[in-house]
Amino acid sequence: MIREVSKIKYVYELLTPRIRGAIMSVPEIERDRIQEIRLRRGRRLSVTIFSKEYFVNDNGRLMNNIGDSVQVTTDDIETIYQRAFQNSLHSFHREIARGYITVSGGCRVGFCGTAVLDPARSYAVESVKNISSLNIRIAREMIGSSDEIYAKCFSDKPMSLLIASPPSGGKTTVLRDLARKLGERWRVALIDERNEFAATVAGEPQNLIGAMTDVFNSYNKYEGIMTAVKVMSPQILICDEIGSSEDNEALQYALNSGVKLIASCHASSLDELKKRRYISKLIKDKAFDALAVLGTGTMCGRLVSFTKTGA
């Protein structure tokens, strides 16, 4: 049975009093479904529920139209932005350049404004100023979402597994839950390139990832995989969205070191999976013991195809 855990309570301390009051006044059944809290400078407070955006008034009423919804001020934007970065912007240069930061509970504060470009790095974004919009994404854990795959693959011993799905098919959610379950039995190295799995804050994972799971936060896949195998001696290595030649090189190094791999990629069927250039090579080389495809919509995060490769 899948149990959903919302982390909305962790964002209350970021919010200014009026914004906090409005969100906390939303009826509990609706508040627990909030996926995002959106603030736009000089405009109106809104939230998204099941990808539909609603405006919010002081009394917590959700509305399709602006109506008497809460006005977002410059102070709201600047205060929440500073709190997200613990009032120490100079300590988070990389996060500012990327446009988001993970906060307590694993929630993510995304933002936009005026980009500051670095001409020495092909005008890459160096920083962001004059913040105009904030999007606070509420973290959720789907405890038990990997039960079906776990029962098929990991009842006796570790296996190498490739999980595929179309975008928004639940790959990351299932991988996170697999890390939680596998990390209670085996040594797991989690390559958390975008801090989506563990949601690490100040070195401490905010999500449940297993007692024996080591997190390589913000490493690129190549460096994370190579370093993990050398320094942590994992029995299982988990990473998201593979598909490049560099990924293959690192994954082959891990396999040759006796590590089992669990990875994901974008594909909607086994046939499509086998047409992906670098993925198909891994499959032909029998890098994976099993292939799984997840669905979308009502089948999001659920198995629609599963096969063991006979490796």
* 186 and 109 belong to one structural domain: no
- Give pLDDT tens digits for 196-249: 888 888 888 988 999 999 999 989 899 999 999 999 999 999 998 887 888 888
Asked if residues 92 and 201 have their Cβ atoms less than 8 Å apart, the reply is: no
User: How many structural domains does the chain have?
Assistant: 2
Radius of gyration over every alpha carbon of the chain, rounded to an integer in angstroms: 21
Q: Is the pLDDT of residue 311 over 70?
A: no
| The domain boundary residue, chosen from 99, 119, 137 | 137
* 173 and 219 belong to one structural domain: yes
User: Rounded to the nearest 10 degrees, how much is the dihedral formed by the CA atoms of 208, 7, 34, 217?
Assistant: -60
Indicate which CATH number applies to the domain containing 153. Answer: 3.40.50.300
* 164 and 297 belong to one structural domain: yes
22-25 contacts, C-beta under 8 A, 24 or more apart: 22/56, 22/57, 22/58, 22/59, 22/60, 22/70, 23/47, 23/56, 23/60, 24/60, 25/58, 25/59, 25/60
User: Rounded to the nearest 10 degrees, how much is the dihedral formed by the CA atoms of 226, 227, 233, 238?
Assistant: -70
The predicted model gives 170-186 an average pLDDT of 92
Q: How many Cβ atoms are within 10 Å of 297's Cβ, its own excluded? A: 9
| The domain boundary residue, chosen from 137, 152, 179 | 137
Q: Is the pLDDT of residue 310 over 70?
A: no
Q: Is the pLDDT of residue 308 over 80?
A: yes
Name the amino acid, one letter, at 280: S
* 125 and 171 belong to one structural domain: no
Q: Cα 147 from chain centroid?
A: 19
Domain of residue 67 covers 3-137
| The domain boundary residue, chosen from 107, 137, 167 | 137
* 73 and 127 belong to one structural domain: yes
pLDDT of residue 269: 85
Helix axes 245-256, 277-284, angle to 10 degrees: 20
pLDDT of residue 171: 86
* 111 and 159 belong to one structural domain: no
* 113 and 10 belong to one structural domain: yes
Q: Exposure of 310 by Cβ count < 10 A (0-12 exposed, 13-18 middle, 19+ buried)?
A: exposed
Indicate which CATH number applies to the domain containing 119. Answer: 3.30.450
Helices in the chain by DSSP H: which ranges? Answer: 17-25, 28-31, 74-84, 93-98, 147-153, 171-182, 221-231, 245-256, 270-275, 277-284
pLDDT of residue 227: 96
* 121 and 187 belong to one structural domain: no
- Give pLDDT tens digits for 67-124: 999 999 999 999 999 999 999 998 888 899 989 998 888 899 999 999 998 888 887 8
- Give pLDDT tens digits for 6-49: 889 999 999 999 999 999 999 999 999 999 999 999 999 999 99
Quick one: pLDDT band at residue 178, thresholds 50, 70, 90?
very high
* 175 and 300 belong to one structural domain: yes
Structure-token pair, residue 208 = 């449940």
* 112 and 152 belong to one structural domain: no
Cα(192)–Cα(205) distance, rounded to whole angstroms? 11
pLDDT of residue 242: 87
Cα(108)–Cα(117) distance, rounded to whole angstroms? 23
- Give pLDDT tens digits for 258-280: 999 999 998 888 888 888 888 88
Q: In the chain, what is the greatest distance between 2 CA atoms, to the nearest angstrom?
A: 62
User: Rounded to the nearest 10 degrees, how much is the dihedral formed by the CA atoms of 263, 224, 237, 218?
Assistant: -70
* 263 and 148 belong to one structural domain: yes
* 169 and 283 belong to one structural domain: yes
Q: Quick one: DSSP state of residue 254? A: H
